[in-house]
């Protein structure tokens, strides 16, 4: 993981190095930040730039595995999720995507772009009071990213962006599950502040590169590209008119094979018989 100069513990170092760290030819680039930080915009711009250069990219996002999506939705609707059960559901989602999607793509030599990674669990679950040492053990199977970026935005600016862009805040999104006697908007502000505090500590602990998310979008993207560019030598590039041939040659087949040079990880599946 690229460091921002702070003393840090690479992913897995607290409980032993992960055997798959740096074992694959692909690159894993992840973005983190509180809601409204602009991280999703930046990773989308990065994907477009990489694709324009001929690199093969795939995309994955938090809480997107089909195996737990229905359970998560039902739990939220009935408001039955405790901090621990919420944490375990997200861990199951993440584990499924790591072993069926992310690792195969890295093995094939592609660039995996992740909108949120394990640090989201560390920050959100930590803010909900889940034991931090237990969380790090729970996610010890996660490999170290090639580059981790934390888009830091002042809380007031984050709130302004969210309120402007959404008609209603969710019960769990606002943290009312751990602040039951607080109004939704007030709970959201407090909860996001708690998550930001967790992220600030994580950036120090894991050496995550902190980005100033108040800068113009173009300036942020230029900095992102400067950090990503040294990671590009040796990764998969499109060598013909159709990138499907490149992916197929690695043994990755399935419905995610389309005409686009960019793949969403929710469309990616391992090879199947027949």
pLDDT tens across 138-193, in order?
Answer: 998 899 999 999 999 999 998 888 877 676 778 878 888 888 878 888 888 899 99
Whether the pLDDT of residue 72 is over 70: the answer is: yes
Burial state string for 28-62 with b = 16 or more CB within 10 A and e = fewer than 16 = bbbbbbbbbbbbeebbbbbbeebbeeebbbbbbeb
Q: What does the DSSP assignment read for 146-159?
A: SEEEEEE--HHHHH
Whether the CB-CB separation of 254 and 272 falls below 8 Å is answered with yes
**């008119």: which residue's tokens?**
241
Return the pLDDT at 68.
81
Return the pLDDT at 66.
82
Whether the CB-CB separation of 199 and 152 falls below 8 Å is answered with yes
Whether the pLDDT of residue 86 is over 80: the answer is: yes
Return the pLDDT at 21.
75
How far apart are alpha carbons 75 and 59 in whole angstroms?
26
Q: Count the neighbouring beta carbons within 10 Å of the beta carbon of residue 82.
A: 13
How far apart are alpha carbons 8 and 269 in whole angstroms?
34
In the chain the domains, ranked by start, together with CATH numbers, are 13-18+27-263 (3.40.50.300)
Whether the CB-CB separation of 122 and 67 falls below 8 Å is answered with no
- pLDDT band for position 13 (50/70/90)? low
- Tell me: the pLDDT tens digits for 39-51? 999 999 999 999 9
Whether the CB-CB separation of 47 and 262 falls below 8 Å is answered with yes
Whether the pLDDT of residue 73 is over 70: the answer is: yes
Is the pTM higher than 0.85? no
Q: What does the DSSP assignment read for 197-215?
A: HHHHHHHHHHTPEEEETTS
Task: Round the average pLDDT of the chain to a whole number and report it.
Answer: 82
- Tell me: the pLDDT tens digits for 223-272? 999 999 999 999 988 765 454 555 555 554 433 333 444 444 443 333 33
How far apart are alpha carbons 7 and 104 in whole angstroms?
31
DSSP-based three-state secondary structure for 98: helix
Chain centroid offset of residue 168 CA: 24
Torsions phi, psi for 104 (to 5 deg): -60, -40
74 contacts: CB under 8 Å, gap ≥ 6: none
């Amino acid at each position: 993981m690229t460091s921002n100069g702070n003393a840090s513990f690479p992913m897995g170092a607290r409980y032993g190095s992960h055997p798959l760290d740096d074992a694959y030819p692909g690159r894993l680039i992840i973005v983190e930040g509180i809601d409204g930080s602009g991280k999703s915009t930046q990773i989308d711009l990065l994907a477009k730039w990489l694709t324009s250069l001929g690199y093969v990219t795939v995309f994955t996002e938090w809480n997107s595995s089909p195996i737990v999506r229905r359970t998560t939705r039902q739990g939220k609707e009935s408001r039955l999720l405790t901090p621990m059960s919420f944490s375990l559901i997200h861990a199951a989602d993440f584990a499924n995507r790591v072993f069926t999607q992310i690792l195969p793509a890295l093995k094939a030599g592609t660039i995996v772009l992740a909108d949120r990674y394990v640090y989201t669990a560390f920050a959100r679950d930590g803010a909900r009071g889940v034991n931090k040492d237990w969380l790090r053990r729970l996610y010890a199977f996660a490999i170290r990213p090639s580059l981790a970026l934390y888009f830091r935005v002042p809380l007031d600016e984050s709130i302004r962006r969210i309120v402007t862009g959404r008609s209603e805040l969710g019960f769990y999104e606002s943290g009312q599950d751990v602040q039951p006697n607080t109004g939704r908007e007030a709970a959201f502000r407090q909860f996001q502040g708690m998550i930001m505090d967790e992220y600030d500590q994580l950036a120090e602990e894991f050496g995550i590169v902190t980005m100033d998310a108040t800068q113009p979008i173009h300036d942020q993207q230029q900095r992102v590209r400067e950090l990503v560019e040294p990671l590009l030598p040796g990764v998969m590039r499109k060598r013909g008119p159709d990138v499907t041939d490149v992916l197929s040659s690695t043994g990755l087949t399935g419905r995610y094979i389309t005409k686009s040079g960019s793949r969403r990880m929710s469309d990616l599946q391992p090879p199947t018989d027949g």
